[in-house]
Amino acid sequence: MAQTYKMYINGEWIDSDSGETFTRLNPATLETIGEFQKGDEKDIDKAVDVAEDAFEIWSEMPAPKRGEILFKIAQLLQKNKEELAKIVTIEMGKVLMEARGDVQEAIDMTFLMAGEGRRLFGKTTTSELKDKFAMATRRPLGVVGLITPWNFPIAIPSWKIMPALICGNTVVFKPSSNTPLCAIKFVEILEKAGIPKGVINLVTGPGSTAGMHLVGHKKVRGISFTGHRDTGAEILRIAGIKKVGLELGGKNPIIIMDDADLNLALDGVIWGGYGTTGQRCTAASRVIIHEKIKNKFEKMLVERIKKLKLGNGLYAKTDIGPLVNQAAQDKSKSYVDIGLKESAKLLIGGHIPKIKGYFFEPTLFSNCSIDMRIAQEEIFGPVVSLITTKNLNEAIEIANSVEYGLSSAIYTNNIRNAFKAIEKLEAGITYVNASTVGAEVHLPFGGVKYSGTAREGGWAAIEEFSELKTVYFDYSGKLQKAQIDID
């Protein structure tokens, strides 16, 4: 019999108000992982209320002391890295090597934000008046609602929770219903590290009810969401006047110029297009290839794809794990059908293999045009489109032709090409001679256009989860009127 897990509110593991649960399956084996609480609006109300009550104590705790708790969390994440990685693989499917990276990212982010407890920099500046001091300090927002996706079920929660906590906010955490166990294990570590009651609260359940109620809650002063673009647009409509940060996906290009190291580019395309089974917002689903090397690179890529092995991510020989669920598998198949109808050339893959689990063959289309749906829309599966270009200007035009602008990459040995791409590519991130995936936690992460509004990671994360208060000290001993009394 499958274990039934609980939610975490006010320092206690409890059932949902409705008493209802939902089932989560292992996408590789279709075995039941467990039963999870189907939280609703009443559970969100309860979590927000206790987070509001806890805010005063937590925000008044000196930030270095908050940092000490985060250091303990980071150490516990290190200690439990392998166990957490296996849970990531079991629950969402990515291969164990990548799952370890998922947890390591959380470790790195937590250590980074723990150190921010001794910074949280504001600014001091000069005043236009005599005997007057001016500065800006950082203050927490209050109660924040954090809504996270399933594809990085340990890393992305850490990108939101840790900066929120170090800034002095209290948290209501609503994870994806595809990865509730990862969220539970993550919060268990925070509890073990000594996080005070009410500071972190976990509600599992549907995004359409629990999630959207959190978004619109009047006591919630900030929302951070990573997920689908359409959901992000709905969040903006519902949120009201509060701080909202959105990370909403991408249709990321890798440009390969005729002077590129093709073996290096090949590694980047395989990793970017098929790593995590294409289930990354930074996945490289478009390869924009110079016409002079197109045929050669195409053959190299097909031969490499043939060697990729599908299977359970816990097995050492597996290169590509399953998609997260049946809907994702059906979506990948539907886009293959769309590509064929659009007259793209299917070079390899395109089928659901006859094995148990939500697997899909790594797929490559060639002879794609800029206006094809497979070259415009985010698929979130192992489907890559090759688009031919004559020169760098055209390559950049193709790269910028989509509504998204998250990550981008160029492979070239020409420094002029590299710097022109950095300047002209409409993306929040540009890699030179590396693939579009991977982020270092001390640098900002985020996109432009329909890829969202947020910048997470590094100093930008502190800005996302705090607000500035401007402070003036007038020690002149008289009433001074700015812009009026200046002598």
The amino acid at 181:
L
For residue 340, give the nearest of 360, 317, 368, 320 by alpha carbon.
368
Judged by DSSP in three states, 356 sits in coil
Q: How big is the CA angle at 114 (ends 112 and 115), to the nearest 5 degrees? A: 70
Provide the 8-state DSSP code for 123.
E
Judged by DSSP in three states, 359 sits in coil
Provide the 8-state DSSP code for 259.
T
Region label for 227, one of left (φ > 0), alpha (ψ between -120 and 50) or beta (otherwise): left
Helices (DSSP H) in 217-261: which residue ranges? 229-239
For residue 297, give the nearest of 219, 364, 236, 371 by alpha carbon.
364
Q: What is the largest CA-CA distance in the chain?
A: 84
**What's the token pair of residue 404?**
């998204």
Name the residue with tokens 């073996």. Answer: 263
Question: What's the rounded Cα separation, in Å, for the pair 173 and 147?
Answer: 6
The helix (H) or strand (E) run that includes residue 46 is helix 41-60
Residues known to be catalytic: 247, 281
Name the residue with tokens 């000594």. Answer: 194
Q: How big is the CA angle at 113 (ends 109 and 115), to the nearest 5 degrees? A: 125
Name the residue with tokens 């597996």. Answer: 318
